[in-house]
Amino acid sequence: MRGFPFVVLDGKTAIVTGGAAGIGEAIARRFARAGARVLVADLDADGASRVAAEIGGLSFAVDVADETQVIALFAACDAAFDGLDVQVNNAGIVPQKGAIDTVDEALWDRVMGVNVRGVMLCTKHAVPRLRKRGGGSIVNMSSRLGVHGAAGFSLYCATKFAVRGMTESAALELGVDGIRVNSLCPGTVATPSARMRMAERARLAGRDVEAMIREDYAERAALRRIIEPEEVAEAALFLASDQAAATTGTHLVVDAGRPAG
């Protein structure tokens, strides 16, 4: 897709967590095309390195649920760049669909750790750097399932509702410093990992995966399709840019117009 050539990040530095694949990779690539210097952070060191090499950025291997590793990530940013302007908290885990009475406690802790604690830790350590810069933007990745609950997604919904609450509170706290905090709430996005999850659901249900995607996802959306990672990246670019200078504490839904349910 062509994107918006008038939205630029020239001279700005951005950290994108979960940047090795999917939505995070699309955001890292879009920010780089918009002129940003991008630090691609991901648990997948090889994937992060690949993306960074292709966009002319830097990479860092990190588990965002571990504060020691998060501190090292921001130290690496300090060493490589002269500041931080944009923090994208995209790293996350999407567990397989399952009823709440079947949730494994260890899985609960891990998903909460990455999806919620990770956002908190990266925000915590981004804020002093953004404040030193005189302001900046934090973009948190929530989800359509952070707006509406869905059967079988209690764990995931809990994390994404938490991200929305954290976003609103942080926006109120940090506005005085010129730091904007917003969240993105994507619907079904055609990432490789999402297609793998849908293929597994189709297999378990004895259905054709393409028919399932069409009937259960695309045809339920107003635009009659699922969305591409690059479309979420365009929304992230807007929130990160000066074009969104008056936008904070909001949640931008990118879901092709799919109603609740």
Task: Tell me which of 31, 60, 156, 217 is the catalytic residue.
Answer: 156
Q: Which is it for strands 179-186 and 136-141: parallel, antiparallel or unpaired?
A: parallel
Report the alpha-carbon distance of residue 135 to residue 84 in Å, rounded. 9
**DSSP at 228:** -
Q: How far is CA 192 from CA 7, 21, 23, 25, 197, in A?
A: 27, 8, 10, 12, 9
Cβ–Cβ < 8 Å for 160, 122: no
Any catalytic annotation for residue 156?
yes
Q: What count of other Cβ atoms lies within 10 Å of the Cβ of residue 161?
A: 18
As to burial, measured by CB atoms within 10 angstroms (0-12 exposed, 13-18 middle, 19+ buried), residue 219 is exposed
The b/e string for 42-80 (b: 16+ C-beta within 10 A; e otherwise) is bbbeebbbbbbeebebbbbbbbbbbbebbeebbebbeee
Question: What positions carry a catalytic annotation?
Answer: 156
